[in-house]
Amino acid sequence: MPELPEVETTLRGIAPHVLHQTIHSVIIRHPTLRWPIPNSLPVLLPGQHIQTASRRGKYLLLAVQTGTIIIHLGMSGRLSLLKKNSSPKKHDHVDIVFENGDILRLTDPRRFGAVLFSSSPFAHPLLKNLGPEPLTADFNADYLFKKSRQKKVPVKTFIMNSQVVVGVGNIYAAESLFSAKLHPLQAAGEVSLIQYQLLVKSIKKVLNASIKQGGTTLKDFLDSEGNKGYFILKLKVYGREGEPCVTCFNPIASLRINNRASAYCLHCQSACSIK
């Protein structure tokens, strides 16, 4: 489910409802997500209140007095806000119940998500090596160009590496490369500065447009209020294999790169030097 726009949509949905709320209790129904949920949370968190709600890459961060709750939605995770006594369903693994009765509930069928706690989240092993946020000025063509020299990995793999830049997953990598007219297999180290300028612009444009539409709902993404995202209507290559390219009308092709489906236009995204 979630790439950066979906996580950002989730954050914007929950933030106004959880900020400054006092935690009443924490219910863990299924503690084995990607990593075990710390069993100290139900003891540690009650009585504390949410001071800030933010995002780093695809990690949601809820800060309380003694530290920060770190939430990752994995492939199929979703947070929703519910009213008091809302009965849990099959994949509702964690509830954070507030004193006013509201419930912040994590639902995650595939359990690739995570709920962790850290007194200094940015020093946490999962967060400390993350690359820049794609929508900030730190993420620019000079940075990508320098970072990519001598790298032989496909440019698609390169921009999906969270140590290079956070938040670009399979959908938005495909869309951004199409927008920048770059072949996904082009070696990252051989992409020119000019091409990176176009790619950076494309990534920012695509992510911003998706956030505006509430993210992409393929099959199961819903925001914290249960609404779908409408960016799927704007996807130009992802999931359109065999359908005509919106620019040249040739059929969209597909490759597997690192075992991930990679849709692209054979004509518009021609490679200069694929090895």
Partner DNA sequence: CGAACGACCTGCAGGC
Partner DNA sequence: TGCCTGCAGGTCGTTC
Pick the binder of DNA from 1, 144, 177, 203 (CB under 7 A).
Answer: 1
Taking the complex as a whole, the smallest distance from the CB of residue 46 to DNA amounts, in Å, to 28
Site for DNA in 17-76 (CB under 7 A): 32, 34, 57-58, 72, 74-76
Q: Can you tell me the distance from the alpha carbon of 88 to that of 141, in angstroms, rounded to the nearest whole number?
A: 46
Does position 260 bind DNA by CB under 7 A? yes
Does position 227 bind DNA by CB under 7 A? no
Catalytic hit among 205, 212, 228, 260:
260
Q: Can you tell me the distance from the alpha carbon of 112 to that of 272, in angstroms, rounded to the nearest whole number?
A: 37
Q: Can you tell me the distance from the alpha carbon of 163 to that of 25, in angstroms, rounded to the nearest whole number?
A: 35
Site for DNA in 179-218 (CB under 7 A): 215-218
Region binding DNA by CB under 7 A among candidate stretches 9-17, 42-50, 167-175, 196-204 = 167-175
Whether residue 3 lies in the annotated active site: yes
Does position 219 bind DNA by CB under 7 A? yes
**Are residues 242 and 235 in contact, defined by beta-carbon separation less than 8 angstroms?**
no
Does position 234 bind DNA by CB under 7 A? no
Angle at which helix 4-18 crosses helix 193-212, to 10 degrees, equals 40
Q: For residue 255, what is the enclosing H or E element?
A: strand 252-257
27 forms beta bridges with 95
Pick the binder of DNA from 26, 60, 94, 171 (CB under 7 A).
Answer: 171
Taking the complex as a whole, the smallest distance from the CB of residue 48 to DNA amounts, in Å, to 26
Does position 90 bind DNA by CB under 7 A? yes
Whether residue 2 lies in the annotated active site: yes
Does position 274 bind DNA by CB under 7 A? no
- Please report, to the nearest 10 degrees, the dihedral formed by the alpha carbons of residues 186, 4, 169, 231 taken in order: -90
Angle at which helix 141-148 crosses helix 193-212, to 10 degrees, equals 120
Does position 126 bind DNA by CB under 7 A? yes
**Are residues 80 and 107 in contact, defined by beta-carbon separation less than 8 angstroms?**
yes
Catalytic hit among 55, 56, 58, 78:
58
Task: Compute CA 193 distance to the chain's CA centroid, rounded to the nearest angstrom.
Answer: 26
Region binding DNA by CB under 7 A among candidate stretches 99-107, 138-146, 192-200, 257-265 = 257-265
Does position 275 bind DNA by CB under 7 A? no
Secondary structure tally for the chain: helices H, strands E: 7, 10
Cα-flanking dihedrals φ and ψ of residue 203, to 5°? Answer: -60, -45
Whether residue 58 lies in the annotated active site: yes
Whether residue 29 lies in the annotated active site: no
Q: Residue 197: CA atoms inside 13 Å, Cβ hemisphere, count?
A: 3
Does position 220 bind DNA by CB under 7 A? yes
Q: Which residues bind DNA (CB under 7 A)?
A: 1-3, 6, 32, 34, 57-58, 72, 74-76, 90-91, 109-112, 125-126, 151-153, 157, 160, 162, 169-171, 215-221, 258-261
Catalytic residues: 2-3, 58, 260
